Amino acid sequence: MKIGSAFTRVLATASVVLAGAVIYACGDFLTAAATPQGTLDEGTLANRVGVEGSLIAAYRSLDCTYATQTSWGCAASNWVYGSVVSDDSYAGSTPNDQPGVNDLEAYAWANPGAQLYLGTKWQAVYEGVVRSNSALRLLAEVKAKSPGEFSTADANSVEGEAIFLRAYFHFEAWKMWGNIPYYREDDADFRKANLTADAVAAELVADLDKAIGLLPDEPRNGEKGRVTKWTAKAYKGRVQVYAGKFAEGKATLDDVVTNGPYGLETSFDHVWTGLSQFANGPETIFAYQASTNDGEPNGENGNYGETLNFPYAGAFGCCGFNQPTQNLVNFFLVDGNGLPIAESAPGTWNASNADLVAKSPQAVDPRLDWTVGRDSVPYKDWGVYSLEDGWVRSVENGGFYSPKKNVHEKSSGSVSGVGWNASILNSVNIHLFRYADLLLLLAEADVEQGQLEAARAIVNSIRDRAGKTAQGCGASTGSQVEASYPQCAGDARIAVKIDDPSITWAHYSVGLYTAPWTDPVFAREAVRTERRIELAMEGQRFFDLRRWGIDKATIQGYLTGVGGGREDTRRLYLAKVEPYGDKHRWYPIPVAQIELSKVNGTETLVQNSGW
């Protein structure tokens, strides 16, 4: 983990130290009804070093590696399940590459390719559960046999971290499948029946409450990658809002905002970045701590889960997936007041099918060019994004645009020097929960509790931050940027004020909501609109649509007509997708897991409705 401490060094070696232990524990857990084990042998792991290493192994499960997974369905960002299946992004690349992603985008979730991806995700999150529970069992053993190994404070923090991680991994499963089994460290048989989604939410809150009572206010040992009491409180509020418990969620999140350590970054470009000076800034609540060039010989601590999500050409060389949709790009258009045009022109905001190239007269929110690579606009400090130069693998299949948030800056030095496709392994932290997300959840709760002006203040604070900076020249001497934009000569700034005279490729505008909010319907929609813009391409969109209960209507509108445009005519393959129906409320539980759950020939896991 990229935190400049012993935590980094332990993580870099954890896979070596714990490989036998983890494989032993998980293999036995998944193939027999025996009690899951957390140690290879007491002499190896029944000590403080073993406990700490086991805990780091649980943190390491937040993202996947080339060595442990067969697909990118394990990515920490959920780009497949939260963005590609929504109106935010296309699968991208070419039609025959990664058929599992294509099946998911086509809502054919029972197809073999989709099942492979879903199976990978299930294995990844429950591997995290197993590792968390193994750390808890090992801690209990060490405390009983060697009471002096840990101080009370350290023992409590280790326990709290492991319980939080267990809750986090179950939360990920809950978002996907709803009705899931919940495992604690004393479970003796993995063949456990799934709970209802509501019951899982109660289990999550119970674990998070316990973690809150154990964890310190500050990261243990000053290592910012570790969770704290405030991480657990923030997640408790997140679960409560996701579960529709708005009064409870508001109380929890108000406490975090009032008394916690978090705040918005000063400008949007500091949020998703490979620049080390902005890592784990005030907006980070919980993030996968990506690390490169740390001694791991294959770059396995970098962002393996994101390696498909780079422009196809140029310095990256692969792979062209997760391409932003025309619908999403159009959503960033703003009116004369700098407010989303989707609100002021609901019948026409999505009418344009054209590539939104540089120098378009239409004003846009500056977050567009921090989120999306688009034609003839500087791409961080990598030069000018260019369709002519092949930055997109197949425009016909994936459209004109490329993702940008997960991409490091060339000047950051965060690219890996080793590993498969090393040029697209980087140390950009993957935000699993950030403060702007939390604020928008609080704004949702405020709306549902009738506190409309409190919600407006939150949305305006996020929009005010969005107006601080925009994509700058990011030019290097003799670069294409200088050739395209002579005013950029010698101007290496990646971020500039939105009205900086160097900007000629866009007209950026961000307005605030100045009139009081009195209509809850308008306020609710404004918060949801802001959430889509702020969190675009972060693997959140589909899960939001689901919990709002508008997934079916939104997906159908996205495909067949909303705001004057439709994606099934922009990307012709989308005319052949499986109709989105009630069964898509939850992803299907992987069939292989249902088979493994049998006791005396009877399945203990019940498949989600419709599958």
Closest CA to 472 of 423, 505, 517: 505
Task: Let me know: does 92 contact 397? Beta carbons within 8 Å.
Answer: yes
Phi first, then psi: give them for residue 333, nearest 5 degrees.
Answer: -65, 145
Q: What is the pLDDT of residue 192?
A: 96
The continuous run of DSSP H or E covering 322 comes out as strand 321-324
Range of the domain at 338: 317-434+443-548
Q: What is the pLDDT of residue 421?
A: 86
- 43 pLDDT band, cuts 50/70/90, is low
Segment 204-242, tens digit of pLDDT: 999 999 999 999 999 999 999 999 999 999 999 999 999
What tokens appear for 574 in the block? Answer: 């989308």
Provide the mean pLDDT of the chain: 92
Report d(CA 317, CA 312) in Å as an integer: 5
The continuous run of DSSP H or E covering 91 comes out as strand 89-92
Identify whether 344 is part of a domain: yes
Closest CA to 123 of 68, 189, 175: 68
Q: What is the pLDDT of residue 41?
A: 59
% of the chain with per-residue pLDDT over 70: 93
Q: What is the pLDDT of residue 196?
A: 98
The whole-number average pLDDT for the span 518-539 is 98
The whole-number average pLDDT for the span 53-73 is 88
Task: Let me know: does 494 contact 502? Beta carbons within 8 Å.
Answer: no
Residue 378, Cβ neighbours under 10 Å: how many? 28
Residue 590, Cβ neighbours under 10 Å: how many? 22
DSSP state of 340: B
What tokens appear for 603 in the block? Answer: 């399945």
Identity of the amino acid at 494: I
The whole-number average pLDDT for the span 12-41 is 36
> Where is pLDDT greater, at 30 or 73?
73
Phi first, then psi: give them for residue 365, nearest 5 degrees.
Answer: -65, 130
Q: What is the pLDDT of residue 9?
A: 29
Q: Return the CATH number at 382.
A: 1.25.40.390
Q: What is the pLDDT of residue 412?
A: 96
Identify whether 391 is part of a domain: yes
Identity of the amino acid at 194: N
Q: What is the pLDDT of residue 314?
A: 74
Bridge partners of 70? none
Report d(CA 37, CA 133) in Å as an integer: 9
Predicted confidence (pLDDT) at residue 509 exceeds the cutoff of 60: yes
Closest CA to 307 of 94, 107, 75, 598: 75
Q: What is the pLDDT of residue 477?
A: 84
Q: What is the pLDDT of residue 317?
A: 86
What's the chain's Rg over C-alpha atoms? 24
- 26 pLDDT band, cuts 50/70/90, is very low
Report d(CA 511, CA 283) in Å as an integer: 22
% of the chain with per-residue pLDDT over 90: 88
Q: What is the pLDDT of residue 45?
A: 85
DSSP state of 250: H
Task: Let me know: does 375 contact 506? Beta carbons within 8 Å.
Answer: no
Q: What is the pLDDT of residue 33?
A: 38
**Could you tell me the end-to-end alpha-carbon distance of the chain, in angstroms, rounded to an integer?**
39
| Omega of the bond leading into 319 within 30 degrees of 0 (cis) | yes
Identify whether 327 is part of a domain: yes
Q: What is the pLDDT of residue 418?
A: 93
Predicted confidence (pLDDT) at residue 437 exceeds the cutoff of 80: yes
- 71 pLDDT band, cuts 50/70/90, is confident
Segment 267-301, tens digit of pLDDT: 999 999 999 999 999 999 999 999 999 999 999 89
Q: What is the pTM of this model?
A: 0.93
- 32 pLDDT band, cuts 50/70/90, is very low
Phi first, then psi: give them for residue 290, nearest 5 degrees.
Answer: -70, 145
The whole-number average pLDDT for the span 134-150 is 95
Report d(CA 418, CA 432) in Å as an integer: 25
Task: Let me know: does 121 contact 100? Beta carbons within 8 Å.
Answer: no
- 475 pLDDT band, cuts 50/70/90, is very high
Predicted confidence (pLDDT) at residue 15 exceeds the cutoff of 70: no
Predicted confidence (pLDDT) at residue 13 exceeds the cutoff of 50: no
- Non-local CB neighbours of 603 within 8 Å, separated by 6+ positions: 594, 595, 597
Report d(CA 516, CA 291) in Å as an integer: 45
What tokens appear for 472 in the block? Answer: 């700058």
Bridge partners of 288? 430
Strands of 233-283, DSSP E: none
Bridge partners of 415? 426
Segment 116-125, tens digit of pLDDT: 999 999 999 9
Identify whether 9 is part of a domain: no
Q: What is the pLDDT of residue 40?
A: 57
How many domains in the chain? 1
Q: What is the pLDDT of residue 313?
A: 81
Distances in Å between the Cα of 269 and the Cα atoms of 230, 278, 367, 577 are 24, 9, 9, 36
Predicted confidence (pLDDT) at residue 25 exceeds the cutoff of 80: no
What tokens appear for 120 in the block? Answer: 């990978």
Predicted confidence (pLDDT) at residue 42 exceeds the cutoff of 70: no
Predicted confidence (pLDDT) at residue 522 exceeds the cutoff of 90: yes
Distances in Å between the Cα of 607 and the Cα atoms of 197, 260, 322, 597 are 13, 40, 29, 11
Report d(CA 170, CA 181) in Å as an integer: 9
Identity of the amino acid at 315: A
Identify whether 269 is part of a domain: no
Predicted confidence (pLDDT) at residue 19 exceeds the cutoff of 90: no
Predicted confidence (pLDDT) at residue 115 exceeds the cutoff of 50: yes
Helix (H, G, I), strand (E, B) or coil at 89: strand
Task: Let me know: does 334 contact 510? Beta carbons within 8 Å.
Answer: yes
Identify whether 199 is part of a domain: no
Q: What is the pLDDT of residue 290?
A: 94
The whole-number average pLDDT for the span 39-46 is 64
Identify whether 504 is part of a domain: yes
Distances in Å between the Cα of 297 and the Cα atoms of 12, 13, 302, 386 are 10, 11, 11, 34
Predicted confidence (pLDDT) at residue 38 exceeds the cutoff of 50: no
Q: What is the pLDDT of residue 288?
A: 96
Segment 299-334, tens digit of pLDDT: 989 999 999 999 998 789 899 999 999 999 999 999
Report d(CA 72, CA 66) in Å as an integer: 9
Q: What is the pLDDT of residue 39?
A: 41
> Where is pLDDT greater, at 3 or 374?
374
Predicted confidence (pLDDT) at residue 530 exceeds the cutoff of 80: yes
Q: What is the pLDDT of residue 66?
A: 76
Pick left, alpha or beta for residue 461 (phi over 0 → left; psi -120 to 50 → alpha; otherwise beta). Answer: alpha
> Where is pLDDT greater, at 70 or 63?
63
Segment 531-565, tens digit of pLDDT: 999 999 999 999 999 999 999 999 999 999 999 99
- 34 pLDDT band, cuts 50/70/90, is very low
Identify whether 192 is part of a domain: no
Torsion angle of alpha carbons 132, 137, 140, 144, nearest 10°?
-160
Q: What is the pLDDT of residue 67?
A: 73
